[in-house]
Amino acid sequence: MVLLGPPGAGKGTQAKRLQARYGLCHISTGDLFRAAVNDDTALGREVKRYLAAGALVPDDVTSAVVARRLAAADCRAGAIFDGYPRTLRQADDLDRMLAERDRHLDHVIYFDVSEETAVERLGGRRSCPRCGALYHVVNMPPRVEGRCDRCGSELVQRDDDRPDTIRRRMEVYREETRALVERYVGNGLLRRVDANPEPDVVTQAAIAAIEASGGRSVR
């Protein structure tokens, strides 16, 4: 199962919920990149080099990180891909990885969200620069305004969570993934889900889309 959608669509939240429902492993490229860097393997050092330079991790390196995770025992029952693929090359790589395991892609869910909702969700995020804890000024505020519950440090707003930056990020995402979306629409896999409502509503819509999608089963 592939989850697509621009920043602020709630893919991470929905991935965890669908993981719990269907018993699939959750493969997030962001999580994988951080884990690879922390492991300090040769692959992790290569990822770190690109991230430190502020550059996109190349398709071949990204796919290598995903392939390594997909080979783990907990992914034998299937996987939810969150943030992957992002390009046609990565989509080709994913098809190859699945074919090598005698598997195929069953579902592609596109979580569609408005700019206004994305700005509200991401613009309200605050993070702790010391321990990395995350908060939201409305949905998950700290006990003391502006201070981390864990370590007491002053919370900050990341530069990429500012309204103008969020809108640019959404525009870039949609342009980058346009061909990918067209590919999955063309082969009949893609289902769009309105990601503007509350998470529970979005989850139920995603489940309905999955279970009504032409008899393709979640395995």
Residue ranges of domains in the chain: 2-211
| Average pLDDT of the residues of the chain | 91
Q: What is the pTM of this model?
A: 0.83
Q: Which fold has domain 2-211?
A: Rossmann fold (3.40.50)
Q: For residue 107, what are its two tokens? A: 């579902």
Q: Are strands 25-28 and 79-82 parallel, antiparallel or unpaired?
A: parallel
Q: Is 121's pLDDT higher than 70?
A: yes
Predicted confidence at residue 215, as pLDDT, reads: 43
Predicted confidence at residue 6, as pLDDT, reads: 92
- Phi, psi for residue 116 in degrees, rounded to 5: -60, -45
Burial state string for 55-89 with b = 16 or more CB within 10 A and e = fewer than 16 = eebebebbbbbbeebbeeeebeebbbbbbbbbbee
Q: Which amino acids are annotated catalytic?
A: 11, 86, 125, 158, 169
**Beta bridge pairs of residue 159:** none
Give residue-wise pLDDT tens across range 124-182: 999 999 998 889 998 899 999 999 999 999 999 988 788 888 898 898 889 989 999 99
Q: For residue 14, what are its two tokens? A: 């929905």
User: Quick one: CA torsion of 66, 72, 73, 74, rounded to 10 degrees?
Assistant: -50
Q: Is 214's pLDDT higher than 80?
A: no
Predicted confidence at residue 54, as pLDDT, reads: 65
| Cβ proximity of 210 and 218 under 8 Å | yes
Give residue-wise pLDDT tens across range 70-116: 999 999 999 999 989 999 999 999 999 999 999 999 999 999 999 99
User: Quick one: CA torsion of 163, 166, 167, 168, rounded to 10 degrees?
Assistant: 120
What is the Cα 151 distance to its own chain's centre? 28
As a whole number of Å, the end-to-end CA separation of the chain is 10
Q: Are strands 134-136 and 125-127 parallel, antiparallel or unpaired?
A: antiparallel
Distant-in-sequence, close-in-space partners of 186: CB < 8 Å, separation ≥ 6? none
